[in-house]
Amino acid sequence: MNGPREPAHTTSPLSDVLVILDASADAPVRAEVVRWLRVTQRLPPRLFIASGTPDQVAEVVRLPGVSAVLDRGESPTPTLALNETERLYVDAWRSPGPRKDRPGDGQSWDAPGFTPPG
């Protein structure tokens, strides 16, 4: 649990995952999730949407207090006993949503050939 964290500049591909904690998970478990993964959203106290390398995700899977780590295509098992709000959160995360094609999307404001709005 106290292993080294991979550097942020890693060239390994990042995976988006949903982390579901046990109902009894405490603050130190949540802190370990944040230490290993880049958390982009959370529904306290149990759910985190995060990204990390395969090695970082594997470290979180092994943490005591972690019930599940799911990819977008995976459904949580009924044994996780999610409440209604948590189920809606998981369903929304799993939904692909509309595709957005925007010029310059994901590029830096000063990327070659890109003029920022304004």
Structure tokens at 19: 């982390």
- Of residues 11 and 38, the one with the higher pLDDT is 38
Residue 113 placed within a domain? no
For residue 52, tell me if it sits in a domain.
yes
- pLDDT of res. 75: 85
Confidence check: pLDDT of 5 > 70: no
Query: Number of structural domains, the chain?
Result: 1
Q: Which domain holds residue 73?
A: 15-94
Mean pLDDT of 28-49: 95
| Paired tokens of 118 | 């304004």
Q: What is the CATH number of the domain that holds 60?
A: 3.30.70
pTM summary value: 0.73
Q: How far is CA 15 from the centre of its chain?
A: 8
pLDDT at 109 > cutoff 90 = no
Q: Let me know if residue 103 belongs to a domain.
A: no
Tens digits of residue pLDDT in 70-98: 998 888 888 788 999 999 999 999 887 77
Q: Is 48 inside a domain boundary? A: yes
End-to-end CA distance of the chain: 47
